[in-house]
Structure formats: C-alpha cells, structure tokens
C-alpha cells in the first residue's frame, strides 16, 4: 500500500491529467445518457403502443442489449463497422453506451408509465384528449417523476460503464489511471486516485438527481 503522503503527493501532481480525463468521462456519460433517454422513451412507447410489430421491435432491442456485454457492443461499433465506415472513438463509445443504457431506460419508463393509475388516462380521454395528447400532458410527466430514482441509478451505472471506453483508447479516467500506473510502476496509487474521482462524480450526480426529485415533488406536499 502506498503511504498517505505519497498518495496525496501523486494525487496533486497528476491532477491536470485526471481532470481532463474526468471531463471526458463526464462528457461521455452526459451525452450517452441524454441519447439513452431518447432511445429509452422511444422504445418504451413502442412497447406500450399496442401494435404487435412495434412491440416485437422493442422486445428485440431490449433482448439484444441485455443479452450481450457492453464491451462487445462498443467493439462492434468501433472495430466491427470499420470496414464500412469509421466512427470517431468518442461517438463509438457514446453511441454504444446510449444504445446500451437505452434498453434499461426503456424498461424503467415502461414500468413507470404502466404504474400510473388507469383512471388518469380515462379522465384525460373523457375530456376529449387524444391518446397521444393524454400521454404527453398527463401520463409522461407523472411517469417521469416516478422514473427519477431508478434513472439516477442508471446514470451512475452509465458513468462507471464509460470506463470501458478505455479499451478503444479513449483517454477517460480509467485509461489515464492505468497508463500512469504502468508508466510509473505504481498501479495501486493511481487506481486509488481514480477511485476517488469516480466517487466524487457519483456523489455529485446523486446530489443533482435528488435535487431534481425534490423540485418535482412540489405537487406531493
């Protein structure tokens, strides 16, 4: 184990590299989660569309994503398609992560949409609203609020999963820590340092989510 003063010293001297890497990790996470939410919402709506073909498409998507490792999905997007077209490493990682998270987010949205009392849709329809309008104005806002805690959880998973982008040579947090560790023959110190960065990012994310939850909870008070 490195001594605490050594750890602290290394932590400070490496901070510029790690902060750059943390920003890249954050960018990767935010972009992939935002796109993932769109994917998730889209496939959740397909699943509850009551149109068989669309349901199958949605089921197939969730099955493919949940049934294969994320690293395989990233490699397919980055290397697998390289003969046909070249995706920049950032977008290969971001899209693979979005595609991956989207499947889990789709299941989150589907669950929370279906958990909204049937009477809400009936009341909206009885007022002359179309199904789509009722979905947009009445069901989704309530479902989204209910989805926040599991979504927050998914964001944290997404943040940590972004470390797999190291394997397509992106200089995000994990890659920087292993590179510095092996260059300096000091793996343990740099691994502990990167763990601290992840913890801080997750703590910030957790705070943001709970802040958002509180803001949306106004109508419960």
Partner 1 sequence: MNDREMIKIENLHKSYGSLHVLKDINMSVYESEVVCLVGASGSGKSTLLRCLNFLEKRQGGRISIRGEEISPETHNINSVRQTVGMVFQHFNLFPHKTVLENVIEAPTMVKKIPKDQAIAEAKELLQKVGLLDKANVYPSKLSGGQKQRVAIARSLAMKPDIMLFDEPTSALDPQLVGEVLATMKELADEGMTMVVVTHEMGFAREVADWIVFMDDGRIIERNRPNDFFDHPKEQRTQEFLQATMLK
Cα–Cα dist 92/168, whole Å: 9
Contacts of 27 (CB under 8 A, 6+ apart): 90
- DSSP 3-state helix, strand, coil percentages of the chain (rounded to 5)? 85, 0, 15
Kindly state the smallest distance separating residue 220's Cβ from partner 1, in Å. 6
* Stretch of residues binding partner 1 (CB under 8 A), selected from 41-49, 63-71, 139-147, 159-167: 139-147
Cα–Cα dist 139/220, whole Å: 16
The token pair that represents 211 in the structure block: 């802040």
Widest pairwise Cα distance in the chain: 70
Cα–Cα dist 105/39, whole Å: 8
Q: Which of 126, 169, 182, 210 binds partner 1 (CB under 8 A)?
A: 126
Number of residues near partner 1 (by CB under 8 A) = 22
The token pair that represents 144 in the structure block: 């989204």
Q: Which of 91, 125, 153, 192 binds partner 1 (CB under 8 A)?
A: 125
The token pair that represents 168 in the structure block: 């397509």
Nearer to partner 1, 67 or 119 (CB): 119
* Stretch of residues binding partner 1 (CB under 8 A), selected from 4-12, 59-67, 133-141, 193-201: 133-141
Kindly state the smallest distance separating residue 142's Cβ from partner 1, in Å. 5
Kindly state the smallest distance separating residue 112's Cβ from partner 1, in Å. 13
Nearer to partner 1, 127 or 196 (CB): 127
- Does residue 117 interact with partner 1 by CB under 8 A? yes
Q: Give the binding site for partner 1 (CB under 8 A).
A: 117, 119-120, 122-130, 133, 137-138, 141-142, 145, 218-221
């Amino acid at each position: 184990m490195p001594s605490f003063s050594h750890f602290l010293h290394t932590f400070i001297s490496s901070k510029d590299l790690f902060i750059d890497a943390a920003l890249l990790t954050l960018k990767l996470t935010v972009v992939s989660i935002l796109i993932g939410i769109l994917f998730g919402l889209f496939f959740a709506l397909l699943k509850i569309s009551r149109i068989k073909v669309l349901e199958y498409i949605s089921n197939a998507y969730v099955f493919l994503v949940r049934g294969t490792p994320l690293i395989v999905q990233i490699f397919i997007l980055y290397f697998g398609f390289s003969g046909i077209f070249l995706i920049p490493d950032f977008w290969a990682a971001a899209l693979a992560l979005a595609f991956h998270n989207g499947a889990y987010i789709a299941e989150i949205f589907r669950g929370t949409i279906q958990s909204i009392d049937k009477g809400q849709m009936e009341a909206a329809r009885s007022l002359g609203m179309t199904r789509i309008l009722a979905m947009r104005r009445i069901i989704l806002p309530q479902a989204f609020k209910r989805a926040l805690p599991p979504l927050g959880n998914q964001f944290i998973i997404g943040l940590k999963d972004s470390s797999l982008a190291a394997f397509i040579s992106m200089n995000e947090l994990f890659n920087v820590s292993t590179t510095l560790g092996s260059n300096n023959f000091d793996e343990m110190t740099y691994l502990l340092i990167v763990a601290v960065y992840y913890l801080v990012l997750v703590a910030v994310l957790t705070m943001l989510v709970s802040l958002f939850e509180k803001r949306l909870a106004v109508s419960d008070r």
